[in-house]
Chain A
């Protein structure tokens, strides 16, 4: 058949006519029409015949065709680990959820299998490691995550508690639940979320279908933390797509839509939307007929109608059970709801706890803390400080010398310090301090010779004021603090002590100036690592100040911040948080300021050391924004903030992210402090560590060598900071296989710790163990063995029982002995180390694996195959995870 469109058109025309004719008429008609092309007759007849049939492939359902044709060679899932699949419960965006039964235990579970997310072996490790975190999340209102692992082909799956229940919003509607009941349920949900946040787990995908109300009327939250896990399964380039796939647009927070960092505040947004739905029976935005792209635009650009308006609108009725709520109550509910789901994360409730507290206030008829227009941090109204473009020299001269003049002029004024005077003096001091410690990024830090000379001159000037002892004391204190900032602790000590003594002479044992001096001296003691003395001084000072001044007086806040820092140093994190949080609350009502920044920074650090990384991260991000607004984007405070954020990521094991933050920080801090400053060194060390953990050894060593050079110069060759950097260098060297270099690094580290702490300190043992590791890597077994033995002995002496360092050292010792074939001797240390390490909450599993493997070999060689098999079996069950030691 020729490919002639015109011909085809003609054939069709004939066909349509012929098909309506009777059979008899047809042939005649065609023969008449197709005189010039007789073959067309047969063609059209053929078409007519075909028209009468209906058995070609075109008549079939595409589904059956597809079924037949598509590759079904992959067998369906029947068994997952010890579970047998019973049926499909549902299909979600990322995979299928099955109902499964564990036959040996006759228990049910829900298993979510993530199709199309086949994990590479490296990611499998990480996946298993992360789920460990989630498995600790145990709470009656949170659906348990029992296990997570991968199928043999790398497909990940989660084993979760099987929960039967009704989605929260459906339940409330069905039961026509009154307001009290809805709020009670909602509060229970919030509590569960708060528990998770306290363990640094953010849900990220809260929505009513993830909150089931069970038969006993209590809610259970599902899918906790899975969203984060799922995000990490994809290549970073696709992460935004994955994140978007995961979200249900209606509950997605603006920062999720924009691909910005997610935190506890994101869950709070979702809780707000859920509350909105519970109160109005509707979602805040009508996204029903929009494409997801349009939905995002709506959420980002529009304000939701207030719940009170929606529920009381003409022509609509509130959800069943919610009739009869008064106008005042609705106003409060509006505030609750809209604060939680504010578009700007900083304007939401800062913690779920805060939301719960306001819920309680509401139920008790008390006023809420969140007020409709309250801006917790008035960033946009801030005036950026205008630093004089003078050099430090001139500025310092002006200030320090001018202070003398200032106070001289004030000779005539009354000596009794009123609150305003003290506050002003405080501000002057702070201005001076900040000038020296980083007010102007052009000026740079104040450790240049000129400034020091000026300070000396200032001290000299101050001595002139013998006739004005109180002013003199003030100046001594100011100068002492400046020296402290510069790191000259001895000078600071004598000055601050002199100030205190002077004030005591003037005011007696108690007085506001005395109290302030005590706080300042207390802070110095902190730097000098004399914690007891430090705390004593600060507490005394704080008590005195509190008696005289109101709670939001700058001196009081200073003292509270100082106390918070001390408690943090001591590891009393709960108390530290309590003190600092109060100070932050007090300050934040007055808008952003340097004091607020300092205090918030301490609070964020406390969270970090306490292990609440999520809280620290959230707070640090807010702080970063505030500092950028307050000081400008290249200010060292911003650099510090970036370092903190990097530290958090490092702690979470996100070394690439940590590296990114550290580099950004380095950029700022290096240009501010100069390339040879201890702060730069410290930054470089952290960067180096992040690089080492990623295996980027060359870059790591560059950074670390630079840091080392600075530290040696500034602190001298024998200093703990130097030793710490040498440790990192040793690790990097070992990773590149350069054993001689590693050995040299560790030897030096050992000698430093010997000199600084003595040979009976756990850090000395740590250096010994590291050096021994190098010997082991070089197969110098007897040297390694001897040194490991010493290290183990010293660890035992200096650390609490069952400590990780001791356990790992034992395993290393056992490993060496096993390598030498000394099976019987190897058994003891291996077993002891293994048991101690397994008992840990989050053991470093690489060493567990080593221990197991070695023990299996040992027992095989000792002719005890059952024991060997036992250890092998344990290895098979547990996912093999590689992690930093």
Chain B
């Protein structure tokens, strides 16, 4: 009987077997993620163990510490692990925070515009534009940043007095927080826009109509009803964008400047022209040191911090969305 049937009815492709095969694959992917987390933290452990909480502190010069780590491996004496990463963390916070803030506000306006207010022709242009901006490789953004934006900032925005005022500490060449934040904003805003506009489109029409029926104009209705009900999507989009921003390494390695310097907002507005180097680019720039054991541990400790913060952001986003379940479509 079985011989007459096509192959997929035979025992080779029976349901149980297919289910088991797919299930095994799924388990494999889950195991891979666990292996990744464990591997990163195991390799990072020596650095955390030697530094303790001081890993996150600011003391000494990060570049000198990295040099000492790399030297200690070459001279094959005692490995040195001392590493205080605060300037790198601070730079990550400033750049990510700045870019996410600017991108969040502008993406919200653009998403509202696309969904509610743009004329047909305009939203037909905007949607492919947003999709295009989201798909441009980060290295192209980096290239344009380093060849167009950085020289512009260095030559035209930063004044000579500003350069002179910090001459002994750091040189302002255009590699700056400002350049990094602007380019990162352009990179992550499209991600936000596409998720926000999906959320806005899914708002129950009845809620909008109710508000319109009460005589509230469309602008206020959109912001008070539409945007509020789309909050789960806004959280989801923001979390995704934050994860992208934290993990962005190559583009920032190209334009944020490569000094481990912590720009201080207390110095006045000049701090946005100061160079710095976030966590991700530090890994990219020092990747050739990967074979030396203490440096390897240091790089993996940076990766572990990145991984942990990305995970914490998704957890926070998940918790936030859980409390907003009532806004979700049934």
A and B interact: no
Q: Which residues of B contact A (CB under 8 A)?
A: none
Interface residues of A (CB under 8 A from B): none
